[in-house]
């Protein structure tokens, strides 16, 4: 999503978000992520206005004090930026890829099932299985911090069963153009 | 965004009163953010430096700034453990790739620097009506100067209009009202405000006369 992203030409405008819309965003984030209201309050204080940065291809990035915090495509789920996920790793369910896959992910590849099901990889256990279309944090074998943020393309149980094709689609990863942006 | 390069990395997300105080959190219940040490060279969390394109410089930086962490991350045992489930051939290939990537990135940086040193700035004095002129400054963007900000600075300095306009070729230039070519050159040479980093030899002043006839 952010593999090629130049702020100059891909951003079409900054607008402050209406307080009623901010409220609904806050609610949907609280329902979509595993986050306590207090933690969200610390990340995004109520007094601090949210700014919507409209980008190409219907991508909306939301910033607080110019710092990109989360983004959205159309009106699908919200994704935290990778920097936010590093600070609060518990907000998204985690999947883990093996070491061999790291360098492909770092150049923007989607996550293939074998990278998740192999020995170094990790998927949530059956009782905590994820549906297709869930935002997930992508962690890596032997590493403490997340390497990417993505959305599951099939249920985690299906991944274990078929073990083929794209399991998780990468939305933002370490070293992409969104990572390079520290302020918008 | 506040970069937390030089702060100590907390090993676990266990609640720490100091961390909470740093972020100025109003609530006691909020979970404190994790501290992540980012590499100053490649901006990645330090454990991902090995996948970046500047591992050698990253290593040097870490050794200087935090040698304890360096030893932890790059000691022999750590290197052994890291290989983990990966086969030997895959590991060798990975190392090869990293080295190749690094060389490539260096070559790219070199080329960019050369291009930067070679690029010219032209200050063009354009005649408008009779004895009125505008000054067009071309090529500033090669030196990482924000054109909009530079235009603003020039406008306030000369108390005239200054704007960023697109040239027919698609590039952007700054147009300042009035004949200020010499002053602009002086400013560039001295590096006033944000107009920094331009070698004096690369500045050229040209003149564009209005075609005679018509009026």
pLDDT recorded at residue A69: 92
Contact B27 A42 (CB under 8 A): yes
**Would you call A86 and B25 a contact, using CB atoms and an 8 Å cutoff?**
no
Closest by CA to A82, choosing from A59, A109, A112, A61, is A61
Residues of chain B positioned with their CB less than 8 A from the CB of A45: 26
CB proximity A46 to B under 8 Å: no
Rounded to whole angstroms, the Cα distance separating B58 from A63 reads 30
Residues of A in contact with B43 (CB under 8 A): 175, 179-180
Q: What percent of chain B has pLDDT over 70?
A: 78
Torsion sign (Cα): B50, B52, B53, B59: negative
Q: Note whether B154 and B161 are within 8 A (CB).
A: no
CA atoms within 13 A on the CB side of B184: 30
Over range A9-19, report the average pLDDT. Answer: 88
CB contact under 8 A, A36 and B29: yes
- Structural contact between residues A154 and A132, judged by C-beta atoms closer than 8 angstroms: yes
B84/A102 CB distance under 8 A? no
The whole-number pLDDT of residue B41 equals 83
The answer on pLDDT for B42 being more than 70 is yes
Q: Identify the residue among A84, A92, A105, A144 best suited for mutation to test binding to B, counting B beta carbons within 10 A and taking the highest.
A: A144
> Is the model's pLDDT at A54 over the cut of 80?
yes
Is the Cβ pair A39, B90 closer than 8 Å? no
Mean pLDDT on B134-149: 80
Residue B114's pLDDT band (boundaries 50, 70, 90)? confident
Question: Does residue A74 contact residue A58 with C-beta atoms inside 8 Å?
Answer: yes
What is the rounded end-to-end Cα distance, in angstroms, of chain A? 17
A64 vs B67, more confident: A64
* Chain A residue numbers touching B22 (CB-CB < 8 A): none
pLDDT at B85 over 60: no
Q: Is the pLDDT of residue B165 over 80?
A: yes
Q: Which residue has the higher pLDDT, B21 or B156?
A: B156
Q: B-contacting residues of A 2-31, CB under 8 Å?
A: none
Q: Could you tell me the pLDDT band of residue B1, with boundaries at 50, 70 and 90?
A: very low
Cross-chain residue pair B85–A180, CB shorter than 8 Å: no
Q: How many CB atoms lie within 10 A of CB A92?
A: 23
Calpha distance B93→A44 (Å, rounded)? 44
pLDDT band at residue B211 under the 50/70/90 scheme:
low
Closest Cα in chain B, distance from residue A100 (Å)? 7
Rg over CA atoms, chain B: 26
Contact B167, B121 (CB under 8 A): no
Q: Confidence band (pLDDT; 50, 70, 90) for B71?
A: confident
pLDDT at A139: 92
Among residues A129, A22, A115, A101, the alpha carbon closest in space to that of A69 is found at A22
Count, residues in chain A = 184
| pLDDT for B43 beyond 60 | yes
Among the partner residues A38, A86, A102, nearest to B51 by beta-carbon distance: A102
Question: Which of B11, B36, B149, B171 is the mutation pick for testing A, counting most A CBs within 10 A?
Answer: B36
pTM: 0.71
Question: Which residues in chain B are contacts of A83 at CB distance < 8 A?
Answer: 1
Reported confidence tier of residue B26, pLDDT bands at 50, 70, 90: very low
d(CA A5, CA A25): 24
Is A144 close to B47, i.e. CB distance below 8 A?
Answer: yes
Within 10 angstroms of residue A181's Cβ, the number of other Cβ atoms is 21
Owner of token pair 């004096």: B200
Kindly report which listed range (A47-61, A67-81, B169-183) carries the lowest average pLDDT score. B169-183
Q: Mind giving me the DSSP string for B39-53?
A: -TTT-SBGGGGGGSS
Distances (CA, A) of A37 to A31, A62, A70, A141, B143: 10, 18, 16, 31, 45
* Chain B positions touching chain A (beta carbons under 8 Å): 1, 3, 13, 23, 25-27, 29-31, 33-34, 36, 42-45, 47-48, 51-52, 81-86, 90, 94, 97
Pairing mode of beta strands B203-208, B121-127: parallel
Range B15-42 average pLDDT = 63
pLDDT in tens, A140-177: 988 889 999 999 998 888 888 888 889 999 999 998 88
- Confirm if A96 and A140 have CB atoms less than 8 A apart: yes
pLDDT at B201 over 60: yes
**Does position B84 have pLDDT exceeding 60, yes or no?**
no
Interface membership of A142 toward B (CB under 8 Å): yes
- Residue from A155, A33, A51, A142 nearest A97 by CA: A142
Question: Is A120 in the B-facing interface, judged by CB distances under 8 Å?
Answer: yes
Buried (b) or exposed (e) across B41-75, using 16+ Cβ within 10 A?
bbbbbbbbbbbbbbbebbbebbeeebeebbeebbe
A108-121 pLDDT, tens digit each: 899 999 989 888 88
* Assembly ipTM: 0.81
| Inter-chain CB proximity B48 and A182 less than 8 Å | no
pLDDT at B14 over 60: no
Contact state of B34 with A147 under an 8 Å Cβ cutoff: no
- Minimal Cβ distance to B1: which of A38, A45, A183: A183
Q: Give the mean model confidence (pLDDT) for residues B188-214.
A: 72
pLDDT band at B78; cut points 50, 70, 90:
low
User: Out of A45, A99, A175, whose CB is closest to B84?
Assistant: A99
- At which residue do the structure tokens 């079409």 appear? A12
Residues across chain B: 215
List the one residue out of B180, B144, B145, B174 whose CA is nearest residue B159. Answer: B180
Q: In whole angstroms, what is the distance from residue B154 CA to residue A34 CA?
A: 50
Q: Cβ separation of A67 and B31 shorter than 8 Å? A: no
């Amino acid at each position: 999503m952010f593999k090629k992203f130049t702020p100059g030409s891909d951003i079409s405008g900054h607008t402050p978000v209406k307080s009623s819309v901010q409220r609904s965003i806050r609610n949907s984030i609280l329902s979509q992520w595993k986050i306590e209201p207090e933690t969200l309050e610390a990340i995004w204080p109520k007094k601090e206005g949210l700014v919507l940065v409209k980008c190409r291809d219907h991508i909306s990035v939301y910033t607080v004090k110019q710092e990109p915090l989360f983004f959205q495509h159309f009106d699908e789920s919200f994704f935290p930026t990778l920097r936010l996920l590093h600070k609060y790793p518990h907000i998204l369910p985690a999947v883990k890829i093996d070491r061999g896959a790291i360098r492909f992910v770092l150049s923007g590849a989607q996550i293939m099932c074998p990278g998740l099901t192999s020995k170094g990889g990790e998927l949530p256990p059956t009782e905590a299985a994820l549906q297709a279309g869930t935002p997930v944090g992508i962690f890596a074998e032997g590493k403490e911090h997340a390497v990417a943020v993505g959305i599951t393309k099939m249920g985690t149980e299906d991944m274990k069963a078929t073990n083929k094709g794209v399991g998780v689609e990468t939305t933002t990863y370490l070293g992409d153009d969104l990572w390079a942006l520290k302020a918008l | 965004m506040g970069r937390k390069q030089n702060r100590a990395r907390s090993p676990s997300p266990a609640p720490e009163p100091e961390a909470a105080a740093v972020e100025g959190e109003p609530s006691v219940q909020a979970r404190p953010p994790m501290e992540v040490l980012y590499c100053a060279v490649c901006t990645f969390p330090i454990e991902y430096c090995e996948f970046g394109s500047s591992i050698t410089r990253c290593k040097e930086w870490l050794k200087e700034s935090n040698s304890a962490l360096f030893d932890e991350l790059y000691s022999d045992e750590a290197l052994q453990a890291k290989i983990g489930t990966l086969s030997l051939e895959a590991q060798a290939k990975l190392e090869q790739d990293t080295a190749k990537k690094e060389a490539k990135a260096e070559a790219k940086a070199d080329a960019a620097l050369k291009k930067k040193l070679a690029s010219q700035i032209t200050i063009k004095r354009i005649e408008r009506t009779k004895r009125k002129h505008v000054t067009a400054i071309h090529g500033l963007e090669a030196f990482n100067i924000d054109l909009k900000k530079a235009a603003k600075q020039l406008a306030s300095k000369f108390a005239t209009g200054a704007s960023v306009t697109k040239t027919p070729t698609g590039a952007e230039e700054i147009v300042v009202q009035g004949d200020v070519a010499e002053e602009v050159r002086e400013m560039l040479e001295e590096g006033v405000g944000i107009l920094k980093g331009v070698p004096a030899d690369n500045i050229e002043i040209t003149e564009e006369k209005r075609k005679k006839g018509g009026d």
